Amino acid sequence: MKKIIFLILLPSIILSLLKLDILKVQNNTNNVKVKVKAQTVSKQKSLYVSVVPQINQDYTINNLNVPKKENVVDFIPFDENEEGSDIQTETNDIKQDDNVADDNEVNENEVNDNEINNNEAKEEISSSLEDENNLDKETIEDENNDSKDNLDYNDVNNNLSDTKKIDLKNGFVNENGITYYYENGNKVTGIKQINGVNNYFSATGKYLGTSSIKVVDVSYYQKDINWDLFKEQSDCYGVILRLGYYDTLDKKFERNISELKRLNIPYGIYLFSYATTLNGAKKEALFTQNMISKYEITPTLGIYYDIESWSTKTSSSNNISKLRYDEIIQYYVNSVSNYVNYKYKVKVYSGRWYALNRLSDSARKYVDWVAEYNSTCKYNEAYSMWQYTSKAKIPGIEGLVDVSYIL
């Protein structure tokens, strides 16, 4: 009976064993397929890989839950005692193509997230670097400004120190045979009071002395004067320009006054009088005032009323009495003096003989500029300027010219 039953079951047992062998052969002949999901996590600039192993029913591995600090994931061998120990996990059975495919099976969304995070991190780092650079620039600029301020301060101190070291010229100095007077390194021009005495210096600083200072008086008769040459080469302190006569402007006055101003040469003016009455004197005074205003005249050497002998076809100075001269001179001097607010002296020019013989004592007190062509002036009244010649030769002036001394 047992034999009958065994014979009946034997085909089923053989069939079962055959199926089991076939299964083992299939499982042994199939390569182990490993599916890996790599997750990169950015944490303090380190790269971590999280791998979770899962074995499917077909004995393929989906994930390895073993963290690695490297991007390359090694296969982890299974314990032979565990279920599925008959699976062979030899790495040499894995094809290179499968490795490439496994490596490429990284989650694209996670990669994109990492790229975004990396970009955001880069932007944050870039922004931080820019802020630091800007702060550094501001700090550098502040330091430079502080340094510049210190440099400027030091320069000032150095300049002050240099100034102390420089021996500035002061007092009288002889240079190439010409005497100058310096104040803190600058040449003095004009009138300088030294030890209570007026000292005269030309427009170029040439020392002229304390008395007998030369001054020329010119009109259109001297034609076009080379004032630059006059300034550089003459030994004259200044000029008295003819303003005109009666109520007529001298033909060269505009040019002359312009040149004297340009070259800073001291000057005064004079008006030749043809007045024979008080009304004539009023006209001459008004004309003088108008010209002073028009040409902005600053006559530091004075304003002179020229009273001397003259004659025309219809009139002559010989017809003017001493009393009339008193009226004419007094009105002109007072009127013009008041106009310039007594800032400039207003006086009379006359020849020694004419002043002594044609003017009264009252009129002579206004005389301040006297003409006498002699080696000495014998005028016995007070005066401050003496015209000693009419035949001088002065650089820049064509022909002969009148020259006076400031006494």
DSSP 106-148: S-HHHHHHHHHHHHHHHHHHHHHHHHHHHHHHHHHHHHHHHHH
Residue 333 inside a domain? The answer is: yes
Cβ contact 210:216 at 8 Å: no
Cα(163)–Cα(185) distance, rounded to whole angstroms?
A: 11
Rg of the Cα trace of the chain?
A: 60
Summarised one tens digit per residue, pLDDT across range 263-297 is 999 999 999 999 999 999 999 999 999 999 999 99
Cα(144)–Cα(259) distance, rounded to whole angstroms?
A: 51
Say whether 289 sits in a helix, a strand or coil: helix
- CATH code of residue 342: 3.20.20.80
Residue 189 inside a domain? The answer is: no
pLDDT 10s digit of each residue in the chain, 407 long? Answer: 656 666 677 766 666 665 555 444 455 444 444 444 444 444 444 444 444 444 454 444 454 444 444 444 444 444 444 444 443 444 444 344 444 444 444 444 444 454 545 555 555 545 555 555 554 555 555 555 554 544 444 454 455 445 455 678 899 999 999 999 999 999 999 999 999 999 999 999 999 999 999 999 999 999 999 999 999 999 999 999 999 999 999 999 999 999 999 999 999 999 999 999 999 999 999 999 999 999 999 999 999 999 999 999 999 999 999 999 999 999 999 999 999 999 999 999 999 999 999 999 999 999 999 999 999 999 999 999 999 999 999 999 999 999 999 99
Cα(210)–Cα(67) distance, rounded to whole angstroms?
A: 111
Summarised one tens digit per residue, pLDDT across range 76-131 is 444 444 444 443 444 444 344 444 444 444 444 444 454 545 555 555 545 555 55
Residue 300 inside a domain? The answer is: yes
Structural domain boundaries, residue 275: 213-406
Cβ contact 232:404 at 8 Å: no
pTM for this structure?
0.60
Residue 280 inside a domain? The answer is: yes
CA 352 to chain centroid: 60
Centre a 10 Å sphere on the Cβ of residue 24 and count the other Cβ atoms it contains.
Answer: 11
Q: What is the pLDDT of residue 167?
A: 74
Residue 202 inside a domain? The answer is: no
Torsion, Cα 274 278 280 285, to 10 degrees, reads: 100
Residue 285 inside a domain? The answer is: yes
Considering its fold, how many domains does the chain have in total? 1
Residue 25 inside a domain? The answer is: no
Structural element, H or E, at residue 334: helix 322-339
Residue 247 inside a domain? The answer is: yes
Token code pair at residue 290:
């108008």
